[in-house]
Structures are given as structure tokens and as C-alpha cells.
Amino acid sequence: MVETEYEQIHMPLIGDDAPSFTAVTTQGQINFPEDYKGKWVILFSHPADFTPVCTTEFMTFANMQEEFREMNTELIGLSIDSVFSHIAWLKRIEEKIEYNGMKNVEVKFPLIADLKMDVAKKYGMVQPNASTTQAVRAVFIIDPEAKIRAMIYYPLSTGRNMQEIKRLVIALQKNEAEKVATPANWQPGDDVIIPAPSSMEAVKERLGNIEEGNYCLDWFLCLKKESKK
């Protein structure tokens, strides 16, 4: 049996500084994170231009771009293709593709041309057991301080759930602003979890003085009621 040696894959972890880069994109050169100071960023990779799953993803992301911008969040795409291939593909999407009620979709967010895999390797987007020439479907959610707050990896065959990515950004922003956690299957407007007390005295204080609008299922699991508006 012949063993194949692969270059060791390094990927940043949650809480790490997002690796910096300068890249050519369909919207001109970008410098990350300098060009995105004060903003949340969704950096995502896709396997290749002119592929069916990627086409549906880009149309959906482009259709949601203003929703993300209302959340102070910018999109950056990446694949191991040339900028000319990117432009040709995005023009084809805008001019000819109609999918799921979407047509004439213009992709206005930058799409990185990463032929040398410089950015993809920094983020562990190329995983040799999946492909040595295409990036997997990686998603990095990066906060305004350029810290990685969440990562999701999908195989080449499976399209992403954009509503779940949006939900995750909303949950992270809520955690940042209010220091609360979100329970299983949480949706915006659902009740949120108050951090558990970390001492016996804090437990007694919490159970003896539950704030209006809060409720406890046990000493370690208390929730805050949210408005459904």
C-alpha cells in the first residue's frame, strides 16, 4: 500500500486573529482586515466557478447582501479560480440564470481570485482528502476586532443554509451586545439564556431575587424573556 503525504493543513481556531491578506477580487484589491475595520465579515470559500451548487449559493448570498449589511456584516467569497473566470461566471449568473424565484442577480460583494491558494491555505480551506485543487465550502464569521467567532465546514456536495449563517451572526452579535447565550434552535425574538452563576453566593442571590421578565428552570438555567417584535 502506497502512502500519500499531504502538506499539513493549518486552520485558525475560534478566538484566533483572522489571518490577514491582500487579494485581487472582482471588486478590486482588498486588504483584510484593514478594509473591514468595525464590521463583521462572512468569509466563505466555494469549490469552483461554473458549478451548480456554487451558483445557487452565490445567487442566494447576493440576494441577501443588503440584509447582512443592515447587520453591519460584509460578505467576501473565494475560490481557486482566476478573476477573469469569476467575472465570466458572475455575468452568466446575472444574465441567464433563474433559480428559486431569483433572476438578474448581480453579485456585488468581492470574490477573491486565489489561484496560488495563498488565502485558502491560511484558512484551511483546501483539504486534500476532499480535493487538492478545490476549496471546501468553508464559512468564517469574523467580528469587528478581526477575531474568528465561528467556523462551519461543508463538503463539496452540500449547499449551505444561508438562513442558518444569518441566524448565527445575529446570535453572536446578541451575545456580544448583551452577554447572553442562545438555546437550542433559537431564533431572533426567542428567549435567551442568562449566564450561570459561578459561586454559591451568586446562586442564592439569583434564586432569591429573580428579576422581572426572567425565569429559572433550575439554578443553572435561567432565561430572559424577549420581545417577539
Report which secondary-structure segment, H or E, holds 8.
none
CA distances (Å), origin 136, targets 4, 57, 86, 154, 162: 20, 13, 17, 7, 16
Contact criterion met (CB below 8 Å) for 200 and 186: no
Contact criterion met (CB below 8 Å) for 20 and 32: yes
Catalytic site includes residue 54:
yes
Residue 137 annotated as part of some ligand binding site: yes
Contact criterion met (CB below 8 Å) for 57 and 93: no
Question: β-pairing, 192-194 with 221-224?
Answer: antiparallel
Among the listed residues 42, 54, 194, 223, the single catalytic one is: 54
**Annotated binding residues for substrate:** 137
- The catalytic residue positions are 54
**Annotated binding residues:** 137
